[in-house]
């Protein structure tokens, strides 16, 4: 069994590398939070109180983001390997055994990633403190602490989220009849699962509770900040219900006859874009939500400094965008095969690059629309609670979308360009 | 550079011409593995050519080189008069789009597109109009037009690939084991369709199915990367005997 685990890890290197990267990134961001708390504990006094206040917000934003991004990437890790599990079933492994193997793989990869991520956090903590707390001499003079007792909960959290989330997906995958998996050249369609219903409903309930607590609150900014990422969580959870239709609807701004590249990208994204779009929605919601909440509660006298923004959402934002890029990287083999088919059908190199670029535009465009919806929810709730409407969330949302677009474009177009140099026959013969 | 001319206009000119084609791949030890060793052949307009031979004899490699999907190591390949070794990538894409059809053993279809959309794809790339439903009806899949590949059986997927060829009407169709994954009945059905295509267009089919090969106008038996035998309008028994002699 150990040989099977190891050989599978190397055969699906791209997929597992993506999972490892996201486990590490989640741990690095988690380490920031843990270090805030540890540093506050050791500092004591008013400094500690200030730090506690900040770290509570960061912790909440980080946990919401990590659950969505890490959950998405983990499920993708498993579903991308559905064919392998089918082959395992055909050589006689039971579904229970397959689930055990996959869970072991996930545990190993998540532990390794989390440890690496915590280690990576060590050298950046001090400069981050110095930068984020520039405006406050007390805080910027602090020496950040991050010891084993801070790292352990982070590692545990990352490992548990990945292992539990992945194990459920693995259970489903292992019980899919092998013939069905082998026939499906693409991912199985994303369906609503009990876990999705549960997390989606839970997020709605939390949003309702936050909203109910707002009237009369002296500091509505912090709870308001959580509303956009939570709304993003609701959208991601219920994604299978509406996302394909939503993508097809807004992308029909360009009629199918206008551009073959757009047409291809549109279909591809509608059927398998969820994993990439989800983290991007969170990214837009984090940035737009923070500013919308600040705008509503500060009534024009904003106190958000760049340092504070980086401190509050820098980590989660990075995790979300990385997560999205990782899903593109992980599923690149499938994209290669589609492009190879297009080349065989007479698609020009230009068409293929344009299709890859269109795919990036559709990912980010969809995420921007859904992210803006989350930000609008924040603004509406904020206006209701504070009687002040704010447009402050719009520009940051657009900024994050543009920055993400550059990264996502790189992630789709560069591999497509490299793929053009590969032999079509090699790609089609693989597997 | 000569622009490709359609088979309708070139009269008796060969659709595919292969001259002294060799192909080798780099080997793990740093040397090269010769796979095709000097092949010369021509495919006439409307000809149905089958390529058979033992596993590893180079059939797929020959098909890919003939169609310009793989570059030749030495020698020359012309498709509709155009040298695929010297043509630009854009010219090759245009040649494939307008004049060449492919049927692979599997993974012929784009998963995110329905059967109808897959059939119409090459025409869409060429900004031409086709009637995908007609073509799907010809292969008996009118009722599956809006299914995606994942919801179609292997034989149905293969028939969609043939419908694509029927819709686009390329001058030459390259098929690599189009019946390889099919049961006898669906295999026969796919072959009937291909034979129908070959009445007006050229078809080059690689196959292990010797009965199927015997339906072609001409059968090439490959052995160790060279043409071992060539049979014209063969009886199935002759094909069996020739292949037995090759392995
Ligand atoms: N990309 C490649 N790199 C190295 N060797 C290759 C490559 N493609 C094919 N070969 C080798 O070329 C030889 C012929 O392969 P090819 O796929 O053409 O055989 P085939 O006749 O189609 O066999 P089969 O009937 O099993 O499909 C094989 O020995 C194979 O190992
Ligand atoms: Mg072959």
Query: Would an 8 Å CB–CB cutoff place A267 in contact with chain B?
Result: yes
Q: How much is the average pLDDT of A405-412?
A: 96
Q: Whose CA is nearest to atom 4 of ligand 1?
A: B25
Strand order in the sheet with B82-83: B32-43, B16-26, B74-79, B82-83
Testing ligand 1's pocket by substitution, the residue of B29, B55, B58, B226 carrying the most ligand atoms inside 8 A of its CB is B58
Q: Is residue B63 situated within a structural domain?
A: yes
Q: Are B131 and B168 in contact (CB under 8 A)?
A: no
User: For chain A, what percent of residues have pLDDT higher than 70?
Assistant: 94
Name the nearest CA neighbour of A64 among A192, A159, A196, A203.
A203
Compute the nearest-CA separation of A416 from chain B (Å).
15
- Rg, C-alpha atoms of chain A: 22
Compute the nearest-CA separation of B177 from chain A (Å).
13
Q: How much is the average pLDDT of A378-401?
A: 92
pLDDT reported for residue A182:
64
Please tell me which residue, A169 or B116, carries the higher pLDDT value: B116
* Burial tier of B68 (Cβ tally within 10 Å: 0-12, 13-18, 19+): buried
| Domain limits for position B125 | 45-68+88-246
Q: Which two tokens stand for residue A109?
A: 């990869």
Tokens 């995606």: give the residue: B148
Q: How far is CA B168 from CA A115, A264, B131, B189, in A?
A: 56, 18, 9, 20
Query: Does residue B150 surpass a pLDDT of 90?
Result: no
CA dist A232 and A56 (Å) reads 20
Please tell me which residue, A431 or A95, carries the higher pLDDT value: A95
Domain locations along chain A? 1-184, 187-431
How does residue A187 score in pLDDT terms, banded at 50, 70 and 90?
A: low
Span B50-94, pLDDT tens digits: 999 999 999 999 998 998 888 899 999 999 999 998 988 888 888
Does ligand 1 lie within 6 Å of residue B58's CB atom?
yes
Contacts of A359 in chain B (CB under 8 A): none
User: Closest to A271 (Cβ–Cβ): which among B60, B102, B112?
Assistant: B112
pTM (two decimals): 0.85
The most distant pair of C-alpha atoms in chain A lies apart, rounded to whole Å, by 70
How does residue A317 score in pLDDT terms, banded at 50, 70 and 90?
A: very high
pLDDT reported for residue A34:
93
Q: Is residue B73 situated within a structural domain?
A: no
Q: Is residue B3 situated within a structural domain?
A: no
- The average confidence (pLDDT) of chain A is 88
Query: Does residue B243 surpass a pLDDT of 50?
Result: yes
Query: Does residue B24 surpass a pLDDT of 90?
Result: yes
Does ligand 1 lie within 6 Å of residue B59's CB atom?
yes
Please tell me which residue, A233 or B139, carries the higher pLDDT value: A233
Query: Does residue A300 surpass a pLDDT of 80?
Result: no
Lowest model confidence (mean pLDDT) among A97-111, B56-70, B104-118, B137-151: B104-118
- The average confidence (pLDDT) of chain B is 86
Q: Which of B79, B99, B110, B129 should one mutate to test binding to chain A, selecting the residue with the greatest count of A CBs within 10 A?
A: B110
Query: Would an 8 Å CB–CB cutoff place A345 in contact with chain B?
Result: yes
Residue A177 φ/ψ region, left for φ over 0, alpha for ψ in the -120 to 50 degree band, beta for the rest = beta
How many Å lie between the centroid of ligand 2 and the Cα of residue A417? 27
Return the DSSP state at B44. -
Compute the nearest-CA separation of A407 from chain B (Å).
24
How does residue A303 score in pLDDT terms, banded at 50, 70 and 90?
A: confident
Q: How much is the average pLDDT of A325-345?
A: 87
Does ligand 1 lie within 6 Å of residue B207's CB atom?
no
How does residue A13 score in pLDDT terms, banded at 50, 70 and 90?
A: confident
CATH for B235 = 3.40.50.300
What's the distance, Cα to Cα, between the start and end of chain B in Å?
Answer: 41
pLDDT reported for residue A222:
87
User: Closest to B93 (Cβ–Cβ): which among A184, A334, A348?
Assistant: A348
Contacts of B64 in chain A (CB under 8 A): 425
How many domains is chain B partitioned into structurally?
1
CB-based contact B96 A185, cutoff 8 Å? no
Please tell me which residue, B109 or A183, carries the higher pLDDT value: B109
Sign, Cα dihedral of A127, A133, A136, A139? negative
Q: Whose CA is nearest to atom 25 of ligand 1?
A: B55
How does residue B9 score in pLDDT terms, banded at 50, 70 and 90?
A: very low
Please tell me which residue, A207 or B157, carries the higher pLDDT value: A207
Q: How much is the average pLDDT of A267-277?
A: 89
Q: Whose CA is nearest to atom 9 of ligand 1?
A: B61
Span A106-126, pLDDT tens digits: 999 999 999 999 999 999 988
* Burial tier of B142 (Cβ tally within 10 Å: 0-12, 13-18, 19+): middle
Query: Does residue A135 surpass a pLDDT of 90?
Result: no
Query: Does residue B147 surpass a pLDDT of 80?
Result: yes
pLDDT reported for residue B1:
44
Name the nearest CA neighbour of A277 among A232, A338, A316.
A232
CA dist B214 and B84 (Å) reads 29
Q: How much is the average pLDDT of A86-105?
A: 83
Compute the nearest-CA separation of A280 from chain B (Å).
22
Span A50-77, pLDDT tens digits: 788 888 889 999 999 999 999 999 988 9
- B→A interface, C-beta within 8 Å: 60, 64, 69-70, 89-90, 93-98, 100, 102, 104, 106-113, 117, 121-122, 124-127, 148-150, 153-154
CB-based contact A348 B109, cutoff 8 Å? no
How many Å lie between the centroid of ligand 2 and the Cα of residue A274? 36
Q: Which of the given ranges, A45-49, A136-140, A196-200, A300-304, has the highest pLDDT on average?
A: A196-200
């Amino acid at each position: 069994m150990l040989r099977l685990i190891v050989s599978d890890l190397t055969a699906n290197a791209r997929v597992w590398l993506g999972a490892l990267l996201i486990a590490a990134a989640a741990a690095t961001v988690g380490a920031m939070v843990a270090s805030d708390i540890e540093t506050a504990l050791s500092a004591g006094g008013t400094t500690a109180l200030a730090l506690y206040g900040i770290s509570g917000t960061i912790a909440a934003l980080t946990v919401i983001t990590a659950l969505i991004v890490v959950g998405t990437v983990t499920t993708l890790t498993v579903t991308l390997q559905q064919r392998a599990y089918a082959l395992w079933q055909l050589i006689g492994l039971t579904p229970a055994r397959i689930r055990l193997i996959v869970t072991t793989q996930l545990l190993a990869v998540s532990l390794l990633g989390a440890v690496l991520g915590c280690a990576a956090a060590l050298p950046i903590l001090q400069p981050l403190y110095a930068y984020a707390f520039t405006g406050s001499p007390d805080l910027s003079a602090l020496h950040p602490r991050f010891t084993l007792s801070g790292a352990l909960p982070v590692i545990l959290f990352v490992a548990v989220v990945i292992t539990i989330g992945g194990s459920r997906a693995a259970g489903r995958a292992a019980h899919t009849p092998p013939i069905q998996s082998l026939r499906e050249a693409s991912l199985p369609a994303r369906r609503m699962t009990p876990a999705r219903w549960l997390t989606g409903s839970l997020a709605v309930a939390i949003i309702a509770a936050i909203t109910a607590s707002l009237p009369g609150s002296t500091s509505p900014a912090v709870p308001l900040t959580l509303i956009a990422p939570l709304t993003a969580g609701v959208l991601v959870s219920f994604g299978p219900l509406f996302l394909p239709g939503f993508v097809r609807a807004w992308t029909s701004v360009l009629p199918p006859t206008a551009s073959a590249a757009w047409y291809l990208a549109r279909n591809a994204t509608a059927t398998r874009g969820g994993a990439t779009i989800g983290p991007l929605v969170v990214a837009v919601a984090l940035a737009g939500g923070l500013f919308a909440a600040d705008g509503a509660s500060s009534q024009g006298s904003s106190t958000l400094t760049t340092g504070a923004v980086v401190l509050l959402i820098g980590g989660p934002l990075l995790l979300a965008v990385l997560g999205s890029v990782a899903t593109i990287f992980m599923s690149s083999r499938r994209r290669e095969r589609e492009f190879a088919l297009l080349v065989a059908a007479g698609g020009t190199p230009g068409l293929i690059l344009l299709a890859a670029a269109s795919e990036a535009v559709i990912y980010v465009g969809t995420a921007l629309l859904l992210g803006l919806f989350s930000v609008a929810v924040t603004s509406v709730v904020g206006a209701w609670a504070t009687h002040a409407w704010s447009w402050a969330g719009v520009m940051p949302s657009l900024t994050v979308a543009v920055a993400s677009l550059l990264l996502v474009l790189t992630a789709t177009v560069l591999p497509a360009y490299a793929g053009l140099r590969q032999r079509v026959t090699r790609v089609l013969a693989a597997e | 550079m000569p622009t490709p001319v359609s088979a309708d206009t070139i009269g008796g000119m060969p659709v595919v011409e292969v001259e002294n084609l060799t192909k080798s791949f780099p080997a793990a030890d740093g040397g090269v593995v010769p796979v095709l060793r000097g092949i010369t052949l021509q495919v006439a307009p409307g000809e149905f050519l089958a390529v058979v031979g033992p596993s590893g004899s180079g059939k797929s490699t020959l098909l890919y080189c003939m169609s310009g999907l793989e570059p030749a190591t030495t020698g020359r390949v012309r498709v509709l008069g155009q040298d695929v070794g010297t043509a630009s990538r854009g010219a090759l894409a245009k040649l494939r789009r307008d004049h060449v059809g492919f049927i692979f053993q599997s993974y012929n279809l784009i998963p995110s597109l329905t059967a109808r959309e897959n059939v119409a794809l090459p025409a869409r790339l060429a900004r031409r109009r086709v009637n995908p439903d007609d073509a799907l009806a010809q292969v008996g899949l009118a009722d599956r037009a809006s299914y995606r590949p994942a919801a179609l059986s292997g034989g149905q997927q293969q028939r969609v690939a043939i419908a694509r060829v029927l819709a686009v009407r390329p001058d030459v169709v390259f098929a690599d084991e189009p019946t390889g994954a099919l049961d006898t009945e669906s295999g026969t059905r796919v072959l009937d369709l291909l034979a129908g295509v070959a009445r007006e267009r050229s078809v080059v089919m690689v196959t292990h199915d010797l009965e199927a090969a015997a339906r072609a106008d001409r059968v090439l038996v490959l052995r160790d990367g060279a043409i071992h035998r060539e049979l014209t309008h063969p009886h199935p028994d002759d094909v069996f005997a020739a292949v037995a002699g090759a392995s």
